[in-house]
Chain A
Amino acid sequence: MTFLVDLLAATLRNATPLVYGTVGETYAERSGVLNLGIEGTMYAGAFAGFATAWATGSPLLGLAAAIVVGLGAGAIMALLTVTLGANQHVSGIGLTIGLIGASEFTNRLIFQGGELQQIEPMPIVNPFAGLGEIGAVFDQYALTWIAFLVVVPVAWFILQRSSFGLELRAVGENPEAADAAGVNVARTRYLALMIGGALMAVGGAFITLALLGSFTLDIIAGRGWVCVALVIFGRWRIGRGVVGALIFSLIFSLQFRLRILPGFGDLPFELLLALPYLVVIAALAISGRNVAYPGAYLKPYRRS
């Protein structure tokens, strides 16, 4: 019982950065831009959030700094791919290399490579604490509650039910038609990439501000790439993407707990760590066959 409660709590906790990242990437891709800058954006969000919270003592200011960095990263991606029509794969990889480099450079300048700095992690909020042992599943950080109860439904509502969401999807499916109908294609994509960037950066900041309370190198460890895969797995739907994030996180959390069990302890720990990545690839191979990509995926739009 304790094992199960602990596993479910860890699943929700570890899914949180993936939920922010997957929702953010879904917005970018639904507007027709594959944002491979996600790994770097999460990294920069994690660092900016941590450094600001460390300097000011306020995790909320750290969160704000991450949002600003995410908006900026999204704007750079939009400048390159929307305004200049540059190749999306290369732009995204370049953004990731640049943002990781910039974060590590600044980290070095501020902390001089000295000992690991810690901040007070964000508080845990549990409205179900009265439920006894089972209630421990809901011992979660505020950012986790916000992810599942605010960000996911609001992002879904905006994308599927609002006129902005309609325009965003139209721009991603058929920019010519959207343009002809009076939608500003460039502005819509800028907004999608900036909102998406802010969400990705918050996902990264969750790791430093809540999960760890510190910043270490290689802190994102491929979570951004996992989000890109989850978007395809979820076929560009927010709900399915979140389910994918939960499944990934369940496997991730399970392998950590399996290591303690006798019999599994003999397996190399790295093999188990690799398992979630391999499961994502297998899931793509099974579910991702001939999926319908957004109509304008990877295509720059140029008004004639």
Chain B
Amino acid sequence: MRARMRRRMRSRFRLSPWSTPVLVLAAILITFAITAGPILLAGANPIEAYYLFVIAPLTSGFTAIEVLVTATPILFTGAAVAIAFRAGYWNIGAEGQLLLGAIAAAGVGMVVGGWQPIAALAAMIVAGALAGAAWALVPAILRIRFGIDEVVTTLLLNPVALLLVNGLLHGPWRDPVTGFPESPRIAAVAEFPQLLERSRLHLGFLLAIAVIVIAWYVLARTPAGLRLRAAGLSPHGARFAGINVGRTLLAAALVSGAIAGLAGVSEVAGIQNRLTSGLSPGYGYTGIVVATLGTLTMPGVALAALFLGDLTVGASTAARSLSIPSQLGAVVQGVLLLTTVALLALRRYRLRPTRPEEGGSESAADVAAEVQPG
């Protein structure tokens, strides 16, 4: 009943397809206006800083490739978060799932010395995806079987995953040669090949693009994708339509965890070539920014990840040449997330101008729908 009404209202008040990109662009501009404050505090010129942030990285081949390198892990985590959110499953644990993927990749990478490169890489990728999915399993079961808020459990597992990494690095995996809390180097056959001479761009970038394309196809074109979206839009409606919502949520949670795990594989095999405790400067949380900014669609996630990669490379340039603390990058991310979610919420005002019987009776799934395209 509610689902049917909702559909009617949606078709009657269909918004221009341009409203979403316009609102996202407005959110970016508002973010720049707000972050002008801290830039001025640091004694720099905001216009010059924004030029360094956004434009400068794209003006040289070297930094443009660095943008792709930086975007690689957040393409994975953004896709992971977006898939779970679309199903109405609030996976805030991509950070921990990424770290588990990294542990598995390093573990496999250290023992595959005599293998064929193809077999070594495949083993790492499978192990990393399984480890990420395994880390996502317990919160998913607790949510589906017992109704326990997955936000809390996935969040609490993030520090546990970091402690697990540190435990390994201070214990069994400590580098015996240097004695540093880093794992030994992975076997040469397990390293992702570089895509371009003398650059850090590696196979992980292609893998990330493949994940985005496959996820887009599955979400938009297959029955499984339809079930997932239906579960996110209205669990009751989906159940009424004969969809096993519990199983759909479990699948979304596990796929989300597996993709986040691939982010860890990609960083270990493509960049670090070993397990380190500073492997992820919060890529899991940046995934939430990317998924929201990309309005939970795969093309949107791809664009948003590239944009944030651009900002991150730009932030380190700006930090060096204008001596603005590089922590400004985190400020920009937080403000960007807030302005985006606020502006996308505004969209709903126009979608449903007056519905007396609707006031306050929206389900969590309706809220999930708000960051999806109208």
Contact = CB atoms under 8 A, between A and B. Distances in A.
Does B associate with A? Answer: yes
Interface residues of A, number: 62
Interface string B159-196: 11001101100110000000000000000000000000
Nearest to A83: B342
A284 B153 contact: yes
A135 to B, nearest CB: 35
A176 B171 contact: no
Interface stretch (A12-20, A56-64, A95-103, A237-245): A95-103
A281 B363 CA distance: 25
A201 B261 CA distance: 34
A87 B152 contact: no
Given A90-B292, A102-B38, A289-B148, A225 B331 contact: no
A84 B370 CA distance: 12
Given A84-B342, A85-B348, A105-B330, A296 B155 contact: no
A302 B349 CA distance: 10
Contacts of A280: 156
Interface string B267-296: 000000000000000100100110010000
Judged by DSSP, the binding face of A is helix
B328 interface: yes
Contacts of A278: 160
Contacts, number: 193
Contacts of B151: 34, 36, 89, 228
A269 to B, nearest CB: 8
Interface string A287-298: 011110100101
Contacts of A34: 151
Most A C-beta atoms less than 10 A away, residue of B38, B149, B157, B328: B149
A41 to B, nearest CB: 12
Most A C-beta atoms less than 10 A away, residue of B138, B334, B362: B334
Contacts of A88: 367
A34 B346 CA distance: 20
A246 B240 CA distance: 44
Nearest to A39: B155
B149 A105 contact: no
A288 B146 contact: yes
A68 to B, nearest CB: 17
Given A87-B345, A97-B330, A299-B367, A105 B92 contact: no
Interface string A174-211: 01100000000000000000000000000000000000
A224 B332 CA distance: 22
A274 B360 contact: no
B341 A270 contact: no
Contacts of A90: 288, 292, 337, 341, 371
Interface string A72-93: 0000100010001111111101
Nearest to B43: A109
B205 interface: no
Counting from the closest, the 5 A-B pairs by CB-CB distance are A98-B334, A101-B330, A270-B167, A94-B337, A108-B325
Interface of A: 34, 36, 40, 76, 80, 84-91, 93-102, 104-105, 107-109, 175-176, 221-222, 225-226, 228-229, 232, 268-271, 273-274, 277-278, 280-281, 284-285, 288-291, 293, 296, 298-304
Given A85-B345, A101-B327, A269-B170, 17 more contacts: A80-B342, A93-B288, A97-B282, A97-B289, A97-B337, A98-B334, A100-B334, A101-B328, A222-B159, A225-B152, A225-B158, A229-B153, A274-B164, A277-B157, A288-B149, A298-B364, A301-B360
18 contacts: A87-B367, A87-B368, A87-B371, A89-B92, A90-B337, A90-B341, A95-B334, A97-B282, A98-B330, A98-B337, A101-B333, A105-B328, A108-B325, A221-B159, A225-B158, A226-B156, A293-B149, A301-B360
